[in-house]
Structure 1
Amino acid sequence: MRAFFVQIKCELGRAYEVATAIADAEIASEIYSTAGGYDLLVKFYLDEKEDVGHFVAQKIQTIPGIRDTYTLITFKAF
């Protein structure tokens, strides 16, 4: 399994709604609210043969209330 993170910028006042939608979809390992340029930091796991870009475009960016995403690909956990 490959771990990756997505930072999510939400429409004003919708961060909790977006976090709940992600949690309800049962696609994320962990969901955190954050301060700064993005509202949420979400950890996902995908099988090595699955396409991260396709997953983000179809499973995350389609959630109502999301304005922008920034994907961080990870290589090794220490």
Structure 2
Amino acid sequence: MVTSIILFNVERTKINEVAEQLAAMDEFSEVYSVSGNYDLVAIARVADNEALSQLVTAKIVQITPIQHTETMLAFQAFSRHDLEALFAIGS
């Protein structure tokens, strides 16, 4: 499983529309509208690097209001939620 964080710059009047399109894709577990240098942040979880490549270069590129993306690969998760779930097994 490959997890990535994808940052999006989107045409201002299309942010909600694009967020809904992204959220409807199976590859995205979460999509957030955010403040700062980007308009949207999405968490993608895919089987492998090839699937991530297809998502970025074939699927996302078809959403024309997206002006710019930046994709970051996650190496390791440090989440309190994940740790609590792990220790809850067998409780």
TM-score by length of 1: 0.87
Q: Which runs of 5+ in 1 are unaligned?
A: none
What are the superposed Cα offsets for residues 18-38 of structure 1, whole Å, 9 maximum, x if unpaired? Answer: 001112233311000011111
Distance 1:36 1:61 in 2: 22
Q: Give the deviation of 1:50 after TM superposition.
A: 2.4
8 Å contact kept, 1:15–1:39: yes
Q: Equivalent residue for 1:7? A: 7
Bigger Cα Rg = 2
Which piece of structure 1 moves more, 56-65 or 13-22?
A: 56-65
TM-score by length of 2: 0.76
Query: When the two structures are aligned, how many residues end up with a matched partner?
Result: 78
Instruction: Give identity over the alignment, percent.
Output: 32
The structure with more helix, counted as a fraction of residues: 2
Which piece of structure 1 moves more, 48-57 or 28-37?
A: 48-57
What are the superposed Cα offsets for residues 22-70 of structure 1, whole Å, 9 maximum, x if unpaired? Answer: 1223331100001111100000011135253332111112213100000
Q: Which runs of 5+ in 2 are unaligned?
A: 79-91
Q: Provide the aligned C-alpha RMSD in A.
A: 1.5
- State the structure with bigger RCO (CA 8 A, min sep 6), 1 or 2: 1
Q: Give the deviation of 1:7 after TM superposition.
A: 0.3
Amino acid at match of 1:43: I
Q: Equivalent residue for 1:31? A: 31
Distance 2:25 2:48 in 1: 21
